[in-house]
């Protein structure tokens, strides 16, 4: 009798542990924003932020496999972007109203407009998508408000560096170095990763501006010669 009671107790404990592991919300340590019927529309349509949402079922094997990747994506993404999830087992009516029929389903939101995400689901692919499509890019020339304070200082420094005789070479060398670090950032903390991305965006913006200026100068010179 005692052995049987111990077995039952163990099975109850195991069931609760598995249910907890399947649950997308891991308490305060989770970087993934949990959405419900009460905060869904205000988050995705009226927050002024871009972001991605995973619609999932806790019993779905594919949803469970994506849990760790989604958590890592939330940890590595810029704070100005929301990475969220909604448990369709608990929010059935809400998921039904948005025509969610397969799990997990991914959607992204840009300026309050909903789009389907059907591309690769690896962490690298998702990070690349978030970085290029959803994240505000620091532009020390045309969009300095998207830059952090140290980003602004960094931009001013590199604008000056780009004006020296070998400025183009210096820019490309530093962009290449940062790209290599971003390609395999396993040992990099989330804060350092964001800072590296911001620096790369700054350098690429300066580089593109310089290239555009040079092209315009060449075109103007050609026009002057024709005259």
Q: Give the model confidence (pLDDT) of 87-102 as tens digits.
A: 999 999 999 999 999 9
Range name among 19-23, 62-66, 186-190, 203-207 with the lowest pLDDT average: 19-23
CB atoms within 10 A of CB 107: 17
Note whether 130 and 148 are same-domain residues: no
Which one of 109, 134, 159 terminates a domain?
Answer: 134
- Asked if the structure places residue 107 within a domain, the reply is yes
Name the pairing type of β-strands 113-116 and 105-110: antiparallel
Distance, CA of 196 to CA of 163 (rounded, Å): 22
Give this prediction's pTM. 0.61
Q: Give the model confidence (pLDDT) of 142-167 as tens digits.
A: 777 778 889 999 999 999 999 998 98
CB 88 within 8 A of CB 55: yes
Note whether 80 and 179 are same-domain residues: no
Domain total of the chain: 2
The whole domain housing 207 covers 144-226
Distance, CA of 190 to CA of 201 (rounded, Å): 17
Note whether 31 and 89 are same-domain residues: yes
Say if residue 222's pLDDT is above 60.
no
Note whether 162 and 182 are same-domain residues: yes
Closest CA to 62 of 108, 103, 117, 105: 103
Checking 145-152 for CB contacts under 8 A at 24+ apart, the result is 147/198, 147/202, 148/195, 148/198, 150/195, 151/198, 151/199, 151/202
- Round the average pLDDT of the chain to a whole number and report it: 81
Backbone angles phi, psi at 106, to 5 degrees: -115, 135
Which one of 134, 159, 186 terminates a domain?
Answer: 134
């Amino acid at each position: 009798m005692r052995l049987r009671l111990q077995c039952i107790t163990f099975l109850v404990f195991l069931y609760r542990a598995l249910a907890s592991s399947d649950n997308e919300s891991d308490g305060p340590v989770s970087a993934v924003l949990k959405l419900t019927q009460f905060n869904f529309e205000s988050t995705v349509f009226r927050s002024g932020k871009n972001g991605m949402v995973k619609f999932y079922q806790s019993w779905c094997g594919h949803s469970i496999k994506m849990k760790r990747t989604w958590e890592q994506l939330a940890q590595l993404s810029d704070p100005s972007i929301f990475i969220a999830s909604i448990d369709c087992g608990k929010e059935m009516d809400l998921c039904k109203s948005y025509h969610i029929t397969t799990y997990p389903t991914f959607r992204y939101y840009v300026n309050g407009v909903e789009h389907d995400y059907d591309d690769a689901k690896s962490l690298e692919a998702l990070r690349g998508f978030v970085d290029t499509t959803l994240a505000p890019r620091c532009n020390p020339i045309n969009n300095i408000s998207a830059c952090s304070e140290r980003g602004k200082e960094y931009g001013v420094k590199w604008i000056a560096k780009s004006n020296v005789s070998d400025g183009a070479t210096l820019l490309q060398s530093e962009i290449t170095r940062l790209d290599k670090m971003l390609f395999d950032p396993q040992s990099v903390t989330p804060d350092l990763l964001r800072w590296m991305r911001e620096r790369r965006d700054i350098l690429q913006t300066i580089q593109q501006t310089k290239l555009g200026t040079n092209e315009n100068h060449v075109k103007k010179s050609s026009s002057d010669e024709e005259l």
